[in-house]
Amino acid sequence: MDKKEGLRVLCRKIPRNRLISLGILVLLMVAATVMNPAFLTADNLLGILAQNSARGILALGATFVLMTGGIDLAAENGLTMIAVVASVSHIMTGENLLVLFGGCLILGAALGCVNGLLITRLRLLPFVATLAMMSIAQGITLFASEGKIMFLNHPVTVFIGSGKLFHIIPMPVVIFAGMCVVAYILLNKTKMGTAVYALGGNKEAAEYSGIQVKREETKVYIFDGICVAVAALVTVCRVGQISPNLGEGAGMDAIAAAVIGGTSTLGGRGSIGGTVVGVCIIGVIINALTFLNVPVIAQDAAKGLIIIFTVIFDALGNRARRGKE
- Work out the pLDDT band at 136, boundaries 50, 70, 90: very high
170 vs 313: CA distance, rounded Å: 35
CB distance 199 to 211 below 8 Å: yes
* 3 state SS of 165: strand
The pLDDT > 70 percentage for the chain reads 90
C-alpha 241: how far from chain center: 21
Instruction: Pick the most confident of 152-156, 186-190, 302-306.
Output: 186-190
DSSP per residue, 110-168: HHHHHHHHHHHTS---HHHHHHHHHHHHHHHHHHHHTT--EE---HHHHHHHH-EETTT
120 vs 124: CA distance, rounded Å: 7
Can you give the pLDDT at residue 203?
86
Number of helices and strands in the chain (H, E): 15, 4
223 vs 179: CA distance, rounded Å: 11
Can you give the pLDDT at residue 261?
87
Q: Which bin fits 293, alpha (ψ -120 to 50), beta or left (φ > 0)?
A: left
Can you give the pLDDT at residue 7?
39
211 vs 124: CA distance, rounded Å: 20
Can you give the pLDDT at residue 79?
95
* All structural domains of the chain: 44-314 (1.10.3470.10)
